[in-house]
Amino acid sequence: MTINRLVYEEVFMFGVIGSFEGVNQSLVFYIVFCGLIELCERVGLYAELDHFTLPGDIGPLPKLGWVSGDKPGSIKNDLTTAMQSQRRIGVGRMEMDMLEINAVKKFGAKFVDDIYPIPMAEVLRKNCIIDEPFYQEILLMQRNHAPRRFMCEALVNETTKNCNLKHLIQVLYDNGLRNLAKELFLCHEESRNKVALLRVNRADTSNRRKIGEYFKNIKQQVHAMVFKNSLSTVHNLGEKIKKLILDINDPVQKMYACDKYVALKAAEMDSLTNIAGIVSKDHPGYLEMKRYVSSTSNPALSEVILYGRQSDVLSTIGDFEEAEDFMRQALVSAYTSCSCVEVTDMLYKNVVVKLSKFEKNPHDEKLRKSILFEADQGLWTLRDQSEDLRLFWTKLFLLRMAFAHLGIGKFCDIIQNYVPSMQSIVEAERLLKLDPLKDLEHRRQMFIAVAKARLEEWKGNMEAAMKYLQIARELAKEGKYAEDRALADYEILLKKNPWKTHIYERHRHVHRTEEQNSLVLSLRSSILPSSLEDSTDQKTCFSSNNDSKCQLSRSVHFEILRTVSDTQSNISLEHLDPQSPLGSDLSSLSPGNIYKRQHGTSKSTLFTRKCN
């Protein structure tokens, strides 16, 4: 075994470098190589680091004279200096690596009959993945009656030159092609998982399934308030395992004990965050986790758990730049491993970090959509997990997606100055009615209660909204959750006439919208108030005129004003994925009929064929 073989199997053959947006090739190699040094120290490959040449544009590594017994600090220092130089140069990568190219080609061959080349090329051109001359070539191929497969292969080959895989998946997702985005993601995951199993410095993640189940069970018990004092109980369990580690002589058993300890410490820090809200990234609990990371069966996955949580707490205090740095480190570690619970957990942390950022940037529609995209990716990674694991993580992702649609922050803060589109209202209600959200742990019951309160508020059912909010507050008090502060503020807001709050008034004032230009939603079956038997406000009147009864009803407050942003978002209806649940739900809404009257009833060209 040589150092070159280790490095190239570790990095290049498995497509780790540049497989996610925002991280350049040299930076990924730097992080991976620093971890590789520790491996070499274990297996005795000291001499081979002597004249090692770094790939990329870093240049040759100077003679370091590293021999047995020396610490890798000097090597890391030299690498750090080289990387700082690289950051100044700003070397980046937009093209795909070999693993990504193979995934796209596999995807293209598998779904060639489901892709219409011209509409797809139009989407790629609009997003600057292909240029105008190539787009004209595709049009020429069509005029010359070129076979569909030939046109698709040409598109695939050109696409791989101009963007990385994550960007391509997001473009498909954002343009209503969610099923294709999912299949492309899964093609890449399948290829990455196969080659990752051959890695020489990594434990097989199939051996970590027990750790994943253990981690899930601890979190689930904390969320369900099984323990009288969750924080103290989990801390004490961790301390017991910590003492056992000292007495274990078998190296394999010691590694698995360290796995359990890191999982318990992560659950403990989650419990602390749920109660305190604000926790330092340098809290002793995180420092303790860091001490044991290198002793676990898979240090990379343990880093994923640690860095994701540090990123989360940084986002809570608004330090988004450092939070994103920690998330990048988590991404680097995650993408060197197979799909597993730790990777799913990291994607969930990425969702809540972005949700924190969205609280500060409520008009950033691109950011809001990226939250939904990251959440869907998390759901896609659950395909090969056990039923219990799938159900547990599905609940978490679905609730956060509903939060993004309704304008609710990470700790249930109501996002000010956010007004949802018609699609968001419909989609949020659809999510909240899904089966996975019918049987929730204590903490998740609070989340769904506040989500339903917010939904009813947007629909104008203030009595129902207040009842759901009271349920959420009771749960928050029982669990001593940090969210109770935000829920108390929300209660004050709900007690006011919503049209007199700054959110609605400012929205109306800025856009100077007249009543006749309002986009008024008819109350149909698809957006009926959530089941609340004792609600006295379910008979709701929606109208664009000045009927006095409607003015007296609180429900008339539910108007999604036609602003520039609303109009733009409605245009996207034309390109909805026909298999998306959103497509069928919108058909029953009067705004959809309004749209058809304005733009004609003919169906737009679909990007995907509907399978018979």
Tokens coding 63: 């003679």
Residue 14 lies in a domain: no
Residues 529 and 571 in one domain: yes
Average pLDDT across the chain, whole number: 71
Residue 587 and residue 465 share a domain:
no
| Residue 174: how many other CB atoms lie within 10 Å | 19
19 located within any domain: no
Please choose, from the candidates 326, 222, 225, the residue with its C-alpha nearest in 3D space to the C-alpha of residue 266: 222
Domain that holds residue 340: 205-495
Query: Residue 372: which of 173, 508, 153 has the closest Cα?
Result: 173
Whether 69 and 117 share a structural domain: no
Asked whether the beta carbons of 530 and 456 are under 8 A apart, the reply is: yes
CA distances from 89 to 26, 57, 86, 92, 125 (A): 11, 10, 5, 9, 29
Statement: residue 194 has pLDDT above 90: no
Confidence of residue 195 (pLDDT cuts 50, 70, 90): low
Same domain for 458 and 320: yes
Is 13 a member of any domain? no
pLDDT of residue 489: 93
Query: Are residues 190 and 135 part of one domain?
Result: yes
* Residue 269 sits in the same domain as residue 391: yes
Name the least confident of 74-88, 191-205, 590-604: 590-604
CA distance 275 to 400: 19
Query: Given a cut of 50, is residue 358 above it in pLDDT?
Result: yes
609 has a pLDDT exceeding 60:
no
Asked if residue 8 belongs to a domain, the reply is no
Q: What is the 3-state secondary structure (H, E, C) of 283-339?
A: CHHHHHHHHHHCCCCCHHHHHHHHHHHHHHHHHHCCCHHHHHHHHHHHHHHHCCCCC
Taking residues 80-96, report their average pLDDT: 43
Distance, in Å, from the CA atom of 218 to the CA atom of 392, rounded to the nearest integer, reads 12
Phi-psi region of 15 (alpha: psi -120 to 50; beta: other; left: phi over 0): left
Highest-scoring range by mean pLDDT, 36-40, 327-331, 401-405? 401-405
* Residue type present at position 200: V
pLDDT digits (tens, 9 = 90+) for 202-216: 444 455 678 878 888
State whether 573 and 450 are in the same domain: no
Please say if the pLDDT value at position 169 is more than 60.
yes
Percentage, residues of the chain above pLDDT 90:
33
pLDDT one-digit tens code per residue, 241-298: 999 998 888 888 898 899 999 999 999 998 899 888 889 999 999 999 999 998 888 8
Domain boundary among 474, 495, 516: 495
* Confidence (pLDDT) at 102: 84
Q: Is the residue at 383 inside a domain? A: yes
* Co-location of 402 and 258 in the same domain: yes
What's the number of CA atoms in the CB half-sphere (13 Å) around residue 109? 6
Q: How confident is the model at residue 40 (pLDDT cuts 50, 70, 90)?
A: low
Closest by Cα among 608, 538, 559 to 579: 608
- Determine contact, residues 521/540, Cβ cutoff 8 Å: no
The CA distance from 149 to 115, in Å, is: 9
Give the tens place of pLDDT for each residue, 140-151: 998 998 888 888
* Structural domain includes residue 274: yes
Q: Does 239 share its domain with 338? A: yes
Same domain, 238 and 329: yes
- Max mean pLDDT among 380-389, 509-518, 569-578 falls in 380-389
Q: Are residues 304 and 169 in the same domain?
A: no
pLDDT of residue 448: 96
Lowest-pLDDT choice from 120-129, 199-208, 471-480, 567-576: 567-576
Query: Looking at the structure, do residues 524 and 491 belong to the same domain, yes or no?
Result: no
Phi-psi region at 22: left, alpha or beta (left = phi > 0; alpha = psi -120 to 50): left
Q: Are 420 and 428 in contact (CB under 8 A)?
A: yes
- Specify the pLDDT at position 196: 57
Nearest Cα neighbor of 120 from 99, 106, 110, 134 is 134
pLDDT at 492 over 60: yes
Token couple for 28: 């990924």
pLDDT of residue 34: 53
Ranges 186-200, 248-262, 268-282, 378-392: which has the least confidence: 186-200
pLDDT score, position 139: 92
Show which of 39, 61, 89 is a domain's final residue.
89
- Asked which of 152, 169, 196 is the last residue of a domain, the reply is 196
Q: Is residue 544 part of a domain?
A: yes
pLDDT attached to residue 498: 54
The pLDDT score that the predictor gives to residue 558 is 39
- In which band, very low, low, confident or very high, does the pLDDT at 484 lie, cut at 50, 70 and 90? very high
Identify which of 154-168, 362-376, 378-392, 528-542 has the greatest average pLDDT.
Answer: 362-376
The CATH number linked to 457 is 1.25.40
Number of domains in the chain: 4
d(CA 188, CA 195): 11
**How many CB atoms lie under 10 A from the CB of residue 243?**
9
For the chain, give the percent of residues with pLDDT over 70.
63
pTM tops 0.75, yes or no? no
The Cα–Cα gap between 38 and 380 comes to: 33
- Asked if 380 and 331 touch (Cβ cutoff 8 Å), the reply is no
Most confident of 206-220, 314-328, 495-509: 314-328
Return the pLDDT at 94. Answer: 59
Residue with the bigger pLDDT between 226 and 285: it is: 285
Structural domain contains residue 455: yes
